[in-house]
């Protein structure tokens, strides 16, 4: 496997379900991100982990819970979601640190989530 | 309030002609700018970037221009090819914001054969 992978690619869940999204990066990066992409809106940054430490929580509701067990893996645990949470959830990674190259983020293909 | 704006949701260009995609930003602290391309069912892929110390960066058919005084950047693709048809996102970052990127809403480019 190369690059950034995400599973599952598609997920349909009811509002009372608990599910998890998984992201894995094979690039040796130290920073990982969760984004939400809704129709006709810019990518919304949700969480940032730098060297396994959460450095950003962009006012995300507590029904979204991230977990970063190591610098290669990132999870997004979902619980009692709402229909408006239906969106494409993208994971990304970058080198971490500062400087131009650290700004270049590499994205996974995303998980298309539908909450019914 | 959106800090990075792409005011044209779509653009159609004939194959072989130039495509110009525009992006405006409001935060004067932004010092690094990137363009990403996204095909359906795939994540965005990095295309080209520019630092605020430059006003132009070229990579093959792709050139990004930065006008700091106008807080405006543009991506030129010449000649345009049908495979360039995708959604293009502009993104910006500030040194003090660590690695956080702020994205525009995207412009869907269609290159007509």
Chain A positions touching B50 (Cβ under 8 A) are none
Cis peptide before B24 (omega within 30 of 0): no
Least CA distance to A94: which residue of chain B?
B99
Q: CB distance B103–A43 less than 8 Å?
A: yes
In this complex, the residue of B9, B46, B104 whose CB is nearest that of residue A104 is B46
Contact A37, B104 (CB under 8 A): no
pLDDT-derived band at A104 (thresholds 50, 70, 90) equals confident
SS percent in chain A: helix, strand, coil, step 5: 5, 55, 40
Instruction: Give B4-47 pLDDT, tens digit per residue.
Output: 999 999 999 999 999 999 999 999 989 899 999 999 888 999 99
Question: For every residue of B89-103, which 3-state class applies, written as one string?
Answer: EEEEEEHHHCCCCEE
Q: How far apart are CA B6 and CA A40, in angstroms?
A: 11
Cis peptide before B79 (omega within 30 of 0): yes
Instruction: Give A64-80 pLDDT, tens digit per residue.
Output: 999 999 989 999 999 99
Instruction: List the one residue out of A14, A1, A3 whose CA is nearest residue A106.
Output: A3
Q: CB distance A109–B2 less than 8 Å?
A: no
Count residue pairs from A and B with Cβ separation < 8 A.
64
Pairing between strand B107-112 and B10-14?
parallel
Instruction: Give B54-103 pLDDT, tens digit per residue.
Output: 999 999 999 999 999 999 999 999 999 999 999 999 999 886 655 678 89
Per the rule left: phi > 0, alpha: psi between -120 and 50, beta: everything else, B60 is left
Instruction: Give A40-57 pLDDT, tens digit per residue.
Output: 788 888 998 887 777 777
């Amino acid at each position: 496997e190369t690059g950034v992978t995400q599973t599952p690619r598609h997920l349909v869940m009811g509002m009372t379900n608990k599910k998890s999204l998984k992201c894995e990066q094979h690039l040796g990066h130290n920073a990982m991100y969760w984004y939400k992409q809704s129709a006709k809106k810019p990518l919304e940054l949700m969480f940032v982990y730098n060297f396994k430490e959460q450095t950003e929580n962009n006012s995300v509701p507590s029904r979204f819970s991230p977990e970063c067990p190591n610098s290669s893996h990132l999870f997004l645990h979902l619980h009692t979601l709402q229909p408006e949470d239906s969106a494409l959830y993208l994971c990304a990674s970058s080198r971490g640190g500062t400087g131009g190259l650290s700004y270049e983020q590499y994205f996974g293909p995303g998980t298309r989530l539908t909450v019914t | 309030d959106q800090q990075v704006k792409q005011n044209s949701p779509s653009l159609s260009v004939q194959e072989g002609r130039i495509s110009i995609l525009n992006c405006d930003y409001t935060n004067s602290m932004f010092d690094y700018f990137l363009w990403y391309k996204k095909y359906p069912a795939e994540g965005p892929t990095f295309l080209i970037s520019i630092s605020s110390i430059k006003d132009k960066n070229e990579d093959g058919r792709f050139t990004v221009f930065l006008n700091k005084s106008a807080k405006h950047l543009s991506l030129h693709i010449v000649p345009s090819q049908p495979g360039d048809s995708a959604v293009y996102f502009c993104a910006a970052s500030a040194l003090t914001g660590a690695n956080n990127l702020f994205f525009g809403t995207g412009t869907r480019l269609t290159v007509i054969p």
